[in-house]
Amino acid sequence: MIGLARVDERLVHGQVLVGWVPHLGARRVVVADDEAAGSPLARAAMTLALPPGVEAEVDPVKGVDWEALAGSPEAVLVVFRDVAEVERALAAGFTPDRVPVLNLGNVHYALGRRQVTPSVFLSGAEIDGLRRLAAAGFRIEARAVPLDAPIDLAEIERRWNAAG
Amino acid sequence: MSIPPVTLRRVFWRCLFLQAAWNRRGMQNLGFAYAIDPALRRLYADPGKRNEALRRHLATFNCHPYTAAAIVGGAIHHEERVAAGEEPTGAPLAYKQVLQGPLAAVGDGFFWAGLRPFFGALAAVGTLVLGWPALVAALLVYNTLHLWLRWSLFRAGYRTGDAVVVRLAALALPAWAARLRDGGAVLCGVAAGVMALGAVGRLGIGAGALALLAATSGIVVLGLRARLLPTVYAALGLGTAAGVVAQVFRGGR
């Protein structure tokens, strides 16, 4: 099963490996990202920090076998770079019934993005994307680490509008 | 051209202030640009090019402050090639963006969750048994070790660029982190034992038993994967209760 799907521009890092992997009891991390999959440096780097007993793989978004991940006996943690990639994955079989929560972890500041949590900045297009994903059936939360209180999409939208 | 050793040492010194201007939008970007600036001044004689180079290092950057030294070194490695016209100007930025997350994870796991707690527990046990000089010694050893590792990572990044990943993989830091965590937990147990024995000696068997109960409960709660804060509250509560009951016992005698 997919224990959690996370949007994180930093992909595999401390919050993921020290926070979420033990929290979920996950043994496997799947990075669904075309750019990382195409970079030997990124592929090598993703495996650097893995604690003993945890595996990671880096695949292009369209190259992930979502059905197999959803059917795996152990919890898998899936990481995407941004909201647009999640929408691409949805088209490729990453459906809401296969994942309990879509988590927003780290989306860095960029021109046009507004801050909704200390670590998440979103553009108008990304808010629209999240609305479409919610309409498709995903439960969406913004939460950096398991100890933080989750913030739901309604609150994300409220903060986004207030930040404008 | 290659960077003179004195400039490399200056950059390394500035790496120690990586988080001094931490901000929400760029995180460690100002610290990174400040650190790498002496090397950029060496590489780009033309002020326009130097400004352009400095500007690209103002992009959002965030990593573990220790392992980031490898990325600063590697960014200089790539800037040398950019200055020589061998690589596109985007190469140093791409290098930083790819490595910042994974190296942050290595640093969080090894330094924050492994080495530092281990030396903290070692200092606690040492101080209980030997007194305050043990605390000073533990701090000295920890800081020597982490500064030496940071300098080694910085030099490896500068010399090997992308291959620093291979060097890091060979160090097997996540496996060491797991050993250090286990070792730290054992030391915490030893500290609890030493404190319990001390309590028995000073306050009687009841206080010792309560101190042990508090320590055991803490370990059990941790073992049940409790969230961190309630565990801390539970440990604090039990420890305080042990202290209060011990006072009552002593007062009653």
Higher pLDDT, B119 or B241: B119
Q: Residues of A with CB below 8 A from B113's CB?
A: 18
Burial class (CB in 10 A: 0-12, 13-18, 19+), B130: exposed
Q: Residues of B with CB below 8 A from A118's CB?
A: 24
Residues above pLDDT 70, as percent of chain A: 100
CA dihedral B179, B180, B183, B187 (to 10 degrees): -170
A13 carries an active-site annotation: yes
What 3-state DSSP class applies to A112? coil
Closest C-alpha to A162, from A104, A121, A114:
A114
Complex prediction ipTM: 0.74
- Give the model's pLDDT for residue B247: 59
Of A111-120, B84-93, B147-156, B200-209, the one with minimum mean pLDDT is: B200-209
pLDDT at residue B211 is higher than 90: no
CB-based contact B102 A115, cutoff 8 Å: no
Residue A147 belongs to domain with CATH number? 3.40.35.10
CA dihedral A19, A22, A27, A28 (to 10 degrees): -10
- Chain A neighbours among B 223-242 (CB < 8 Å)? 225, 227-229
Distance CA A47, CA A42 (A): 9
- Give the model's pLDDT for residue B230: 52
pLDDT at residue B231 is higher than 70: no
Phi/psi-derived region of residue B172, left when phi > 0, alpha when psi is between -120 and 50, beta in every other case: left
CB B206 within 8 A of CB B213: no
Of A106-115, B69-78, B206-215, B244-253, the one with minimum mean pLDDT is: B244-253
Joined tokens for residue B59 = 């992009």
Q: How many CA atoms lie within 13 A of B105 on its CB side?
A: 26
- Give the model's pLDDT for residue B219: 67
Closest residue of A to B95, CA-based?
A: A41
Sign of CA dihedral A51, A53, A58, A61: negative
Closest residue of A to B162, CA-based?
A: A41
B134, containing H or E segment: helix B132-160
Distance CA A12, CA A20 (A): 11
Q: Which residue do the tokens 């090397």 mark?
A: B39
Q: Residue B238: pLDDT band by 50, 70, 90 thresholds? A: low
CB pairs under 8 A between A and B: 88
CB-based contact B225 A22, cutoff 8 Å: yes
pLDDT at residue B51 is higher than 70: yes
Q: Residue B146: pLDDT band by 50, 70, 90 thresholds? A: very high
Distance CA A131, CA A138 (A): 9
Interface check for B105 against chain A (CB to CB < 8 A): the answer is yes
Q: Residue B137: pLDDT band by 50, 70, 90 thresholds? A: very high
CB-based contact A22 B105, cutoff 8 Å: no
Q: What is the mean pLDDT of chain B?
A: 86
Closest residue of B to A53, CA-based?
A: B175
Closest residue of B to A51, CA-based?
A: B174
- Give the model's pLDDT for residue B223: 61
pLDDT tens digits for A76-100? 999 999 999 999 999 999 999 999 8
B177, containing H or E segment: helix B173-203
Question: Which amino acid is present at B150?
Answer: R
CB A100 within 8 A of CB A73: no
First to last CA, chain B: 79
Higher pLDDT, B207 or A134: A134
> Got the DSSP string for A25-38?
T-SEEEEE-HHHHT
Q: Residues of B with CB below 8 A from A49's CB?
A: 102-103, 105-106, 108-109, 173-174
Distance CA A43, CA B223 (A): 33
pLDDT tens digits for B98-114? 999 999 989 988 998 88
pLDDT tens digits for B171-187? 999 999 888 888 887 78
Q: Residues of B with CB below 8 A from A52's CB?
A: 174-175, 178
Q: Residue B117: pLDDT band by 50, 70, 90 thresholds? A: confident
CB-based contact A52 B95, cutoff 8 Å: no
Interface check for B90 against chain A (CB to CB < 8 A): the answer is no
pLDDT at residue B164 is higher than 80: yes
pLDDT at residue B1 is higher than 80: no
- Give the model's pLDDT for residue B98: 92
Q: Residue A155: pLDDT band by 50, 70, 90 thresholds? A: very high
Q: What is the mean pLDDT of chain A?
A: 93
Domain containing A84 equals 2-163
Number of domains observed in the structure of chain A: 1
- Give the model's pLDDT for residue B128: 84
pLDDT tens digits for B84-95? 999 999 999 999
Residues contacting B105, CB < 8 A, separation 6+: A12, A13, A14, A16, A17, A18, A48, A49
pLDDT tens digits for A32-64? 999 999 999 999 998 888 888 899 999 999 999
